[in-house]
Structures are given as C-alpha cells and as structure tokens.
Amino acid sequence: MSRFLNERFTKLVPYVPGEQPTDMSYIKLNTNESPYPPSPKVHARMTAGEIDRLRLYPDPLGSALRAKAAAVYGVRPENIFLANGSDEALALAFMAFCGRRRPAVFPDITYGFYPVYCALFDVPYETIPLRGDFTVDIEAFCGVGRNVILANPNAPTGLAVPVSDIERIVRSNPDNLVLVDEAYVDFGAESAVGLIGKYDNLLVVHTCSKSWALAGARLGFVFGQPALIEDIDRMRYSFNSYNVTRQTLIAGEAALDDLPYYTQMRGKIVRTRERSAAALKALGFELTDSKANFLFARYPGKSGGELYQKLKALGILVRHFDKPRISDYLRITIGTDAQMDALVEALKRILEK
C-alpha cells in the first residue's frame, strides 16, 4: 500500500476471483465457465477485416448488439446496457443507485462481490440470513425499504426462486431498487426480464460468461426501464466510455445469432449436472437442488477445504469458500461428462483413503 491511497480504501478488502491457472493442466471446475466453446458463428465473424478495424474505437452505443439483444430478449434497445462483464454492470449500478443514504440488503450467503461494492462506494448494508436449507427468505425482503440485491439462482447455492417471488419483492419495495443478478438463469431458472416493462424499480443483470461461453470476452447486459439504463450510462460515460471492445461486440452479436447452438449447449450442461449430482449423491454427498451450471455439495464429516486441497493435488480445481455456514461445501462447475467422471473418480479415491 502506498502513502497516497485514499484513507477510505486502506481497509477495503477486494474480491478474490477464482484461480485462473495459465497452464492448461488442470480440470478446471472452479469459475463456472462453459466447458464448450462459443458458437461457430463467433468464429465466422472474427475476420481479418475486424482485426484491422481494431485501430478504431468501438461503437460506444453498441447499437448493433443492443438491437440484436433487444430482439432476442423481447425488449427495446433502450432497455439494455452493455457492460464489460456483469461485474462491471454491478459496479456501475451500485455506484449509481446505492450510497450512504441509499443502503442495500442481500442474503448473508450470496455472490461475494456485493459487500465489496458496498465497501468501495460507502454503502451501508444489511444481510438477511438464508434459511437453514439455504433457501431465500422472500418474506424478509418484502417491504424491506432498502435497495435489494438478489442473485437468482443464488450463488454459490444454485437455488432459484420463481419469478412470482421476485415480483412480490419488487412490488413491495416501490421506492427502492431491486437488482436481480441472473448470471446463472439460463441453466433452468425463470428470468425476471419480462417484468421490466411493469416496474420502474427493477434491474436485471445477465452475463455472457456462463451460458454464452464468452467469459474471456467480458460482456454483460443490464435490462431495465430507459431511465434506469440512462443512469447507468451516465456512470459509464463518467468512468470509461468505451467499456466493451470491438471484438466483444461482434462476438456478442454472433452468439445471439445462434440460439439453437446455445440451447443445445445449455441442455447438455443441465443433463451433465443432473447426472453428476446423482453420482455424487451415490458417493454420500449432500447437494442443493442447483439450477445453475455448478453443484454445491458437502460430504458429511469432511471439511470442504480438505476436499478442495486433495482435488487440487489430483489436478482438479473446484471452488471453496472459507466462510461461515458454507465452509464445508464445494462449488463444482459443470464440465464435460468426461471431466465430471474424472471428478467423481477422484472424490471416490479421496474418500476411500
């Protein structure tokens, strides 16, 4: 730390992303990436001409991509904000809408970046404990009178709530914003995007990192009424106007052009999830009913940290959070069937010892 850092940040504890080994020797089940590549249409659009055009700035409006996303999601372009990954979308939304006098609330167990944003932007926050079975206490969020941040499906539990529950929270907090982080929604949960026309206090955040196989391209969407989108845009134009690269705009367009490919890909991941969940249960693991592209599992009597370490020693990376209530658990990204078979085999070996 330098002596020039603003006092406000000297105690800031940043988010710690999952390990990203630069060699390819691990079976990488730790950051919820897709085991399958992006659509062939993405390849087709990455022409030599596009590489030459890297000399030019991207379209800061992202007009072509927003038009395409509007058609796919059944909204209008002015309902869409394009971000450099959903983390940037969340950061800009926290910056725009939360603050000392606009506190936030989210579950005690959820995406670990939310409290970091609160610390960064000086936002007082409360957490509402998940129930014993890790389900969200919907009643507790109704009429809570703060900006509500809710991941659906939640991370790292994978548990989803129906849109009717989201709508109750939105309707009962008319003077606060409800931000629904749907990073994992495409693997079997219900999206709240269809509600944005009805409520001026709803923002829905999507990422292309998981169900669009574009983690490396950094692309996220925010859906909401135009006034909210304009506010986030105001933050962007005051922070980094050109936040999405030319190649990423193109990759996004190409991906949105190939829904059949992604529907098939997601179906495959969901089937592998169910198959892997059954295999882990057969080994004696306890699992949540994940609707995401990961499993959340513990083995009674074994520490999550120990299992994580032993898997790593066997060349398999999963994610372990050393946090209250979930330190016994592993979050395991759904890989290919072969990768999941290798995981199950490795766990078998570890447990037999």
Within 21-50, the residues that bind its own copies by CB under 8 A are: 22, 28, 31, 33-38, 42-43, 46, 48
Q: Is 63 in the site for its own copies (CB under 8 A)?
A: yes
Q: Is 153 in the site for its own copies (CB under 8 A)?
A: no
Give the binding-site size for its own copies (rule: CB under 8 A): 91
**Would you say 68 or 298 has its CB closer to its own copies?**
68
Q: Is 173 in the site for its own copies (CB under 8 A)?
A: no
Q: Is 293 in the site for its own copies (CB under 8 A)?
A: no
Cβ-Cβ contacts under 8 Å for 342 (sequence gap 6 or more): 27, 316
**Would you say 66 or 298 has its CB closer to its own copies?**
66
**Would you say 4 or 300 has its CB closer to its own copies?**
4
Contact 45/252 with Cβ under 8 angstroms? no
Q: Is 59 in the site for its own copies (CB under 8 A)?
A: yes
Q: Binding string to its own copies for residues 186 to 225, with x set by CB under 8 A, is what?
A: --------------xx-------x---xxxxxx------x
**Would you say 94 or 329 has its CB closer to its own copies?**
94
Provide the β-strand partners of residue 316.
27
Q: Under rule CB under 8 A, which residues in 120-149 are in contact with its own copies?
A: 120, 147
Taking the complex as a whole, how short is the minimal distance between the CB of residue 11 and its own copies, in angstroms?
Answer: 11
Q: Under rule CB under 8 A, which residues in 230-249 are in contact with its own copies?
A: 230-231, 234-248
Q: Is 15 in the site for its own copies (CB under 8 A)?
A: yes
Q: Using only the alpha carbons of the chain, give its radius of gyration.
A: 20
Q: Which tokens is 49 given?
A: 């001409």
Q: Is 54 in the site for its own copies (CB under 8 A)?
A: yes
**Would you say 119 or 314 has its CB closer to its own copies?**
119
Provide the β-strand partners of residue 180.
150, 204
Q: Which tokens is 110 given?
A: 């959820």
Name which position in 29, 66, 88, 148 contacts its own copies (CB under 8 A): 88
Contact 288/157 with Cβ under 8 angstroms? yes
**Would you say 205 or 280 has its CB closer to its own copies?**
205
Q: Is 57 in the site for its own copies (CB under 8 A)?
A: yes
Taking the complex as a whole, how short is the minimal distance between the CB of residue 231 and its own copies, in angstroms?
Answer: 5
CA distance linking residue 276 with residue 181, whole number of Å: 25
Q: Which tokens is 180 given?
A: 């629904």
Q: Which tokens is 258 given?
A: 């190939």
Q: Is 167 in the site for its own copies (CB under 8 A)?
A: no
Q: Is 315 in the site for its own copies (CB under 8 A)?
A: no
Q: Under rule CB under 8 A, which residues in 96-125 are in contact with its own copies?
A: 96-99, 101-102, 116-117, 119-120
Cβ-Cβ contacts under 8 Å for 346 (sequence gap 6 or more): 311, 314, 316
Q: Is 156 in the site for its own copies (CB under 8 A)?
A: no
